A and B are shown apart, each in its own frame.
Chain A
Amino acid sequence: GQQLNQSPQSMFIQEGEDVSMNCTSSSIFNTWLWYKQEPGEGPVLLIALYKAGELTSNGRLTAQFGITRKDSFLNISASIPSDVGIYFCAGQGNMRGTYKYIFGTGTRLKVLA
């Protein structure tokens, strides 16, 4: 199925470092979501973005809805070991219905203590 381009695919960082990942699409989206998935679990919603240019924070996490509506980024500040996991972006565009989200391929984050 159709998927978003998410980068980087994986990253190793030192504890305390800031992390940045992004998602791009060839089509315009009306909503961008960021999820985190830990091993053996389902994804958990971190941040939802509804307007172009919107910047939203959730603790150490900050996400932005790109002005072009074709991209979004997620920043994690001062990473800690429990930030380990797979981060997925998801977008919803001008398609019939409001429930069908397209998911990125994920960014696998590993934090070295």
Chain B
Amino acid sequence: GAGVSQSPSNKVTEKGKDVELRCDPISGHTALYWYRQSLGQGLEFLIYFQGNSAPDKSGLPSDRFSAERTGGSVSTLTIQRTQQEDSAVYLCASSFPGREETQYFGPGTRLLVL
């Protein structure tokens, strides 16, 4: 597609359930980021993938959060045993290597944990 796509656009889940959020980056972009945006807040860095290098997971808030990137393209962010404080918009972005300032963001997945 022309831009970064994310699915689902909205997700409501019960506390304790696992959720998977998907990101399809722009074709040819080797860098991929996940951010979390809580209500009224800025973007919080979660994880960064670049090509075949080991991802930078330093922003993941707990071990309930994990992410994978298969084949250097699609990425999945998994949150296990969701908590109410996990409710937020999860944004994915991609960029060309060496042009990390020009991140193209997807529309986000709005997660609500009841």
List residues of chain A with CB under 8 Å of any chain B CB.
1, 3-4, 6, 31, 33, 40-45, 48, 88, 90, 92, 97-106
Contacts and interface: CB of A to CB of B under 8 A. Distances in A.
Contacts of B35: 103
Given A42-B107, A43-B105, A99 B42 contact: no
- Counting contact residues on chain B (CB < 8 A from A), the size range is 20 to 34
A3 B106 CA distance: 21
Contact of A103 (B31, B40, B42, B100): B42
A42 B4 contact: yes
B33 A99 contact: yes
B70 interface: no
Interface in B100-114: 100-108
Contact of B48 (A44, A45, A99): A99
Given A40-B107, A41-B107, A33 B42 contact: no
